[in-house]
Each structure stands twice: as C-alpha cells, then as structure tokens.
Amino acid sequence: MVSAQRLSVSPSPHTHVDSWYAASAAPFPVHPPLRGDARVDVCVLGAGITGLSSAIHLAEQGLRVAVLEARCVGWGASGRSGGQVIFGYAAEQTKLERLVGRSAAATLWECSLAGLDLVRERIERYAIDCELAQGHIHAALKPRQVRELRDWQRHLETEYGYRSLRLLETGAMREAVASERYIAGLHDSNSGHLHRLKYTLGLARAAVSLGVRIFEQSPVIEIKAGTPVGVRTPGGQLAADYLVLAGNAHLSRLLPGIERKIMPVGTYIGATEVLGAERCRALIRDNAAVADVNFVLDYFRCSGDQRLLFGGRVSYSTLAPARLAERMRGRMLQVFPQLQDVRMQYAWGGLVAITMNRAPHFGRIGSNIYYAQGFSGHGIAAGGLAGQLIAEALRGDAEKFDVFSRLPHADFPGGRLLRTPALVLAMTWYRLRDLLP
C-alpha cells in the first residue's frame, strides 16, 4: 500500500509546483525578499490574483503599495488551478437571494459580470498574453441535472436579464463535447478560460509598471494591528496605513478569526501530451471549457498548445492521492474513452479555499485591515473583482464591498483538529447524492 502525502509545499520557495502551467509560462522574473524596514500606504499579503488586482487598483490611484509573498508570484491557486473564468459564484444565485435578499443578490450578480469584464479589460490594457478563450459549458449527466440547468437558465434570464446562455440538448451536446457521458449542457458565451499562471504573472508585471514593490520569499510571521499596521517577515518590517489580506488558503495562523471561515481543500489536474489542433477540436468543438454539475465535479478544457487539461478528485483531507497521473488519466477516460492511447505528461495539485456556504468571504478587521477569501473555485473573476472592491473601499466607496461583507459565514465545525474529518464525513453525503439519478 502506498501512503498519500500531504499536499502543501513546492520543492523550493523559489519555484512553482511542477505543472504544465509552470512549464509553459515564460521565465519568471525574480523579486527580492523584504530586507530592513519600509513604510507604504498599503501592504498586500499574497501575490495571487486578488492581491495583485488590489495592488494594481491602488497604484492606479496613486498610492504606495507593497506586496509580500511567502513564496513566488502565482505560487498558490492563482498559478495552478483550472483556469475557468466563470460567471456567478460557487453559491448559486438563488442561494444568495436567500442569504441576503433579492436586491443585494442583484448587486452580487452585477459584480460577478463586472468581474468577467475586468479580466478582459486587464488583459487588453496591459497586453497580457494568457491564451484567453471564450465559452464555458456546464454539463449534465442525469435527467435531474438537466432539469436543474433549465431552471437555472430560466431564473437568470427572467430575473436578471442574462441572455448569454444556451441549453444544449443531447444531440447538440454530443456535437459540442464528444462524450457519451453527458446528456445536456448549458453553454455560456460570456465565460471562458485562460492560462492562469501567465495571467497572474501578467498582473504582476502590470503592478510593477505602476510602481508596486513585490517582495517574494517574505512570509509574514506577525501582524500588529494599529495605525499604522505593522507586518513582520524574517527579513524586515513594513508599516502601512492599510493592510489587505489576500492569502486565501495560505493564511496560516495569522488571524484565526477569519481562518475558521475557510477550509483549504486539495484540487488536482492532469495535462496530456500534445494532441494537435484537429484532435482537440474533435473533443471540444468550439474550444469551450467544460465542467459537469456534480458536487464533486470533473472539469476540462484544451490548452493553447493543444493538450487536454483535465481536473477533478477534490481532497477534503488535503492528502494527495497516490499515483496521481494514473488516477487523473482514469477519470479522463471515463469522459473520453477515445483517448486510450494518450498519456498524462503532467499531474499536479494545490490548495483552494472554500467556505461553508460556497459564497466568497469579504470583510474588515478594525478600520484598516481588509480581506477577501474563500472563492470556492471561482477565483479568477471573483478574485480580481475583490481587488477592485477593496481598493474602492479604501478610497471611501465601500458600497459594493459592504454587500459582500454582509454575506453570513459560519465557522467550519470541529476546530483546527477536527474540522477536516468533519468535512470529509459531510462530503460523503454529497458524493452519494451525485450518484442519484
């Protein structure tokens, strides 16, 4: 028996995990660690999409910004997860309506669409070459899920005027995705996918061009609340009028009060060898990203260099499965048995943060510490949006940020020692539900 290994670190704090993303991105510029003392207007913890987006917006407003990163830019989920740029949130719109009411939920919906627009605007403004492609399909495996997709489309069209959705019945779905596993799909022309490490590195270059200072290999070991707030790393200290927490699943134990609201979970992806353009289009005709609608879902898309990227196998225990490439290939073949001759060239994983209700968790600590976390798999659009809303709030316009901060969030039960086993048990119910017709 091969024991699983805990998934949390890369081979070195100087490098990314061994993934297709890292292998296919341009050489990474190296930023120095923090040395000595410094004073800025805003200190941002975390050089992922949320942190870099915050830094860009704040620097555009003329503020002095420093970003502290424990490892390297894009080391976390921002540089290794699926790459889907999707409307909405992991919590469905009807759930948000129940949580905060119809009016506030409408604001959240409008913000989610603004998050998609922001991704495209940033790519164009800063000339970020990240293989952006339009189109995303939510795929149904069972008649119950087809009904859910129809209800979802009807609700978004009638209540929010969203007209980018098209229901693909069985024949149309098989033409769009060459798999007999799916019986229908909901295609969204406004969503899409990209190379998320290239995108994150592009955000970092944009931030630096605006005067943002990025310090890599600078883990924060202490936060001292106050005005200014103090942040200490092994090599130095920063004093700032404001602090932005954008560490998400990697906040460690710095602020237990907000850490209890999220749970780090492992997600895993494989990348095949190069298939070629013709074979990729035979699998997914219009180059959309695809995700099924199971709670424990599979998701996949073709890359810019014509591979199939296939993700799934969420681990709520954060234990990486043994023989990961073999397991990811097995899941891929359940969807595309015609790829029997294809090998997985890369397989990797990482941690993302989920919340109990799957809605993002925004808030303040005191008057000058802001945070955004728990995007539950929707971090590209929602994380970039969070950076913009934090910047607006710091400058006095907190209306939209405050709508997010009103979303209720419960602690994960069981405390630090027992919350993971408790969640594993709870997820067993959802896995069983996925098997129901």
- Per-10-residue mean pLDDT of the chain, 437 residues long, equals 30 72 91 97 97 98 97 95 95 97 98 98 97 98 97 98 97 98 98 98 98 97 96 97 93 82 90 98 98 91 98 74 92 97 95 91 97 94 97 96 97 63 49 52
Structure tokens at 19: 């993934």
The answer to whether position 1 is within a domain reads no
Q: What pLDDT score does 419 carry?
A: 52
Residue 432 lies in a domain: no
**What is the SS3 assignment for 57?**
helix
In this prediction the pTM is 0.93
The enclosing H or E element of 118 equals helix 102-125
Asked if residues 157 and 163 have their Cβ atoms less than 8 Å apart, the reply is yes
Q: What residue numbers bound the domain in which 89 lies?
A: 7-426
Q: What is the pLDDT of residue 412?
A: 82
**Stretch (H or E) spanning 372:** strand 369-373
- pLDDT (0 to 100) of residue 425: 45
Here the CATH number for the domain that contains residue 272 is 3.50.50.60
Domain count of the fold of the chain: 1
Q: How far apart are CA 193 and CA 102, in angstroms?
A: 29
First CA to last CA distance, the chain: 34
What gap in Å lies between CA 345 and CA 309, rounded to an integer? 10
Other CB atoms within a 10 A radius of the CB of residue 142 amount to 18
- Position 2 scores a pLDDT of 26
Domain annotation covers residue 2 = no
Q: Is residue 237 part of a domain?
A: yes
